[in-house]
Structure 1
Amino acid sequence: MSNSHPQSIIDAGRWIDAQGWCPATGGNFSLRDGAGEVLITASGRHKGHLCEADLLRVDLAGAALDSTLKPSAETLLHTQLYQLDSKIGAVLHTHSVSATVLSLTSPGDWLGIEQLEMQKSLSGNQTHDAAIRIAIFDNTQDMQALAQTVAQRWQQGALSWGLLVRGHGLYAWGRDMAEARRHLEGLEFLFACQLELKRLGVAP
């Protein structure tokens, strides 16, 4: 995997597209680029066919910097996450079937996961015995409002690894692109297991 900023986003897009986690032109991916800038995919670009011309830089308010490309509305949630935690270096937003359906069929504000070995793919987890929680947020087209809601819940106790938006998809993050990809892959496996348990009538 390339360490260059643009190429790491392009590579992630091809890998994610191959998994079927970002159909059509859905999703968006970003990297922190210095103290106050973010490199992010432009609106309306298919993530399996990205090139450097599909990326732009924005400031932490989500405004484009020296680009005529249009940032996605969801850019505001990316930049909010970067503001909330200086250790976050990459954010991947996907639209998999498992994440979308599980978010709709899980009541409440949290998805609980336990007794699955793949929990150890998430930074800080050393065992399957410790239950983890993934925050769920109601979907809205008002991304500024959603970003503010994420910030409010963050202050109540930092969210870890990722969050779900109900009926929409997953935001996963990490200290760099490699960790964000690992968290995304681990969470997607965990979600697929939870969804299969539901299908089998076994309470996760």
Structure 2
Amino acid sequence: MSAQREQLVAACHWIGAKGWAPATGGNMSLRQDAESCLLTASGLDKGTLTIDDFVEVRLADNRVTGGRRPSAETGLHTLIYRRYPEVGAILHTHSVNATVLSRLCRDEALVLQGYEMQKSLSGQQSHLDPVAIPLFDNDQDIDALAARIARRADSEPLRYGFLLRGHGLTCWGRDVQEARRHLEGLEFLFQCEVQLRLLEGQ
């Protein structure tokens, strides 16, 4: 098993231990090459996954090698891999903070500013620079949802990840290590935002 595959399995176990993928929710993937990725099979506890619990998916058309069913959000993973060749790993989680904030924020993006932890995100140099995490309404029609995300990306490149209202966070990085750092940094920032809004009475 390659180092990146080992790191992805370890990241899944870490996410499971954090409670960020409860009740078999969430999905994680790793780019294999320009044509395919490995994606978690549907309906499995992320805290106990092995590399055998991933399925190979073709990026061009979401076709699966083998008979197992991949995650329902397969089309969102393949969209990001097709759009951004530099992305090497994607983590989709269902934490309480991300899910609650996605419903509280009525704008097209959650803007984070004033937090030192913003510098956990690649390219961020200062707490003064705003970081916008795009927000999309959730949809059970993944093709329609992917099309809406693609239209936003046409006018505004997506960085780090996006939120789905009432659903959770999808984030990524150049490799598993960077995607994991982005996830941990964003989750810290989301927790700060939830606490701040509670204290401010919003």
TM-score of the pair, normalised by structure 2? 0.96
Counterpart residue number, 1:171: 170
Identity of aligned residues (%): 49
Shift of 1:52: 2.1
Find the counterpart in structure 2 of residue 63 from structure 1.
Answer: 63
Distance (Å, rounded) in 1 between the aligned partners of 2:44 and 2:5: 14
3-state SS of paired residue (2:133): strand
Note the aligned Cα RMSD (angstroms).
1.2
The offset of 1:202, in angstroms, is 6.4
User: In structure 1, what is the equivalent of residue 32 of structure 2?
Assistant: 33
Moved over 6 A (4+): none
Q: Once the two structures are superposed, what CA deviation does each residue of 1:139-174 show, in whole Å capped at 9, x if it has no partner? A: 010011111111110011101101000000000100
SS in 2 for 1:81: helix
What is the match of residue 200 of structure 1?
199
Partner of 2:123: 124
Inter-partner Cα distance in structure 1 for 2:53 and 2:143 = 23
The one-letter code matched in structure 1 to 2:91 is L
Would you say the 8 A contact 1:116–1:190 is kept in 2?
yes
- Output the CA distance in 2 between the equivalents of 1:75 and 1:4: 23
User: Are the counterparts in 2 of residues 110 and 133 from structure 1 also a CA contact under 8 Å?
Assistant: yes
- TM-score (normalizing by structure 1): 0.95
* Deviation (angstroms), 1:116: 0.3
Q: Which amino acid aligns with 1:143?
A: I
Structure 1 unaligned blocks of 5 or more: none
Q: Give yes or no for the alignment of 1:7 onto 2:6.
A: yes
Equivalent position of 2:144 in the other structure: 145
Q: How far, CA to CA, are the matches of 1:6 and 1:115 in structure 2?
A: 35
List gaps (5 residues or longer) in structure 2.
Answer: none
Give the aligned length: 201
Is the CA contact (8 Å cut-off) linking 2:4 and 2:175 kept in structure 1?
A: no
Deviations 1:167-200 (A, max 9, x none): 0000010000000000000000000000101110
